[in-house]
Amino acid sequence: MPCLASPGLAWPRLHIRLQQGLPRACLLHLPQPPRRLLPGLSPQDGTLLDSRSRVLPSSVAAIKAAMARGVTVFLATGKARPAAICAMQAVGLAGEGLVVSTRGPGIFLQGLAAYGRGGELIAGGQLPADVARAAFEFSAAHDVPVCGFLGEECVTHKMHPELQELHARYYEPLASVASIDEVMRGPPLRKLLFMTRAEVVDGHLKPHWRAALEGTEAETMQAVPDMLEVVPSGWDKWRSMQQLLEHWGVPASDLVAVGDGSNDLGMVAGAGMGVAMGNAVQRVKQAAQLVVADNDSGGVAEAIESLIL
């Protein structure tokens, strides 16, 4: 998700920092220390993107207005950084000094890759090699599409239409194809993503991986019904956000976080001001101090206009 930073804003689904009565946005692009932090909107989920995977014009206008007031906006998303850049390019929010770039801050891959003020990697996690191998072997045995995320690139052992959709619709890097042994000899994987029908995810993948990951240093995470992610235990957006804030020298009490999914719960609960989208899961709404409209009805613009403009 994008984030805003200014005299008080931040968005990893949307975080805002309060200073002199105004939020101090954060997480998007910070050439200078933000006066506001507004954690950002995730291009893959239901905060910044609507149900058709588009950024509403009202959201774009509100983000630009916040940046014009000195707020820095950045992303905290499950997407890889190249995917977030592609998603934001379509609406003019990608590039140096904007919401996301290769030379600015942001949180990606569900918190498994956090980049600092100059775009340098400052924190991240990796999957245990035995878990990664087991996932690829499971995929091969059951013909379930799986994509491994290396950071800026993706890899799979077999191309499927679902993985092509992951690239075309969700902007993720198109996975290169290699044998399982070749994948395991390569760089460590940060996370794995299974993509198939929602009923297969609920009826087969979740029960299997819940049991298979017991006693390992990995766990599952779900952001959308037709995907299931396997990630290192102990890593999430909030953990990386805390490290990014420390890197910046900004207290969490100065943040406003806007989110919708369970992977945003820690940020919404931990920020000085937590905002839930109208389409957020119940736990996020309960943790939030403010609930706005859903992702199809201008919730992002409402949050920014209420707290920043």
Q: Which residue has the higher pLDDT, 21 or 30?
A: 21
The two structure tokens encoding residue 195: 């993509």
Query: 198 and 295 share a domain?
Result: no
Using CA atoms, how far apart are residues 42 and 79, in angstroms rounded to an integer? Answer: 8
Query: 243 and 113 share a domain?
Result: yes
Query: 148 and 166 share a domain?
Result: yes
Q: Which residue has the higher pLDDT, 47 or 155?
A: 155
Window from 2-11, 66-75, 186-195, 197-206 with minimum mean pLDDT: 2-11
Query: 11 and 119 share a domain?
Result: yes
Per-residue pLDDT at 61: 95
Per-residue pLDDT at 32: 30
Per-residue pLDDT at 45: 56
Nearest to 8 by CA among 238, 270, 307: 307
Percent of the chain with pLDDT over 90: 60
Query: 201 and 52 share a domain?
Result: no
Per-residue pLDDT at 5: 35
Per-residue pLDDT at 4: 37
Half-sphere exposure of 40 (CA within 13 A, CB side): 40
CATH of the domain at 275: 3.40.50.1000
What's the rounded mean pLDDT across residues 23-48?
42
Using CA atoms, how far apart are residues 100 and 281, in angstroms rounded to an integer? Answer: 26
Query: 208 and 249 share a domain?
Result: no
Query: 208 and 267 share a domain?
Result: no
Query: 36 and 105 share a domain?
Result: yes
Mean pLDDT score across all residues of the chain? 84
Using CA atoms, how far apart are residues 282 and 247, in angstroms rounded to an integer? Answer: 32
CATH of the domain at 226: 3.30.1240.10
Query: 179 and 290 share a domain?
Result: no
Q: Which residue shows structure tokens 């690139």?
A: 153
Domain assignment of residue 133, given as a range: 129-232
Domain C-terminal end among 232, 256, 287: 232
Confidence of residue 6 (pLDDT cuts 50, 70, 90): very low
What is the per-residue pLDDT across 111-145, written as a single tens digit (0 to 9) for each? 999 999 899 999 999 999 999 999 999 999 999 99
Domain C-terminal end among 203, 232, 261: 232
Q: Which amino acid is at 303?
A: A
Query: 99 and 15 share a domain?
Result: yes
The number of domains in the chain is 2
What is the per-residue pLDDT across 137-173, written as a single tens digit (0 to 9) for each? 999 999 999 999 998 999 999 999 999 999 988 889 9
What's the rounded mean pLDDT across residues 280-299?
94
What's the rounded mean pLDDT across residues 209-234?
94
Domain C-terminal end among 209, 232, 255: 232
Per-residue pLDDT at 48: 83
Query: 59 and 204 share a domain?
Result: no
Confidence of residue 102 (pLDDT cuts 50, 70, 90): very high
Per-residue pLDDT at 13: 39
Per-residue pLDDT at 53: 76
CA 197 vs CA 1, 52, 144, 228: distances in Å: 25, 18, 10, 10
Q: What is the pTM of this model?
A: 0.81
| Whether the predicted pLDDT of 89 surpasses 70 | yes
Query: 9 and 114 share a domain?
Result: yes
Per-residue pLDDT at 131: 98
| Strand ranges for the chain from DSSP E | 4-5, 10-11, 18-19, 22-23, 37-39, 72-73, 106-108, 113-115, 121-124, 146-149, 154-156, 176-177, 191-195, 218-221, 227-232, 256-259, 273-276, 290-291
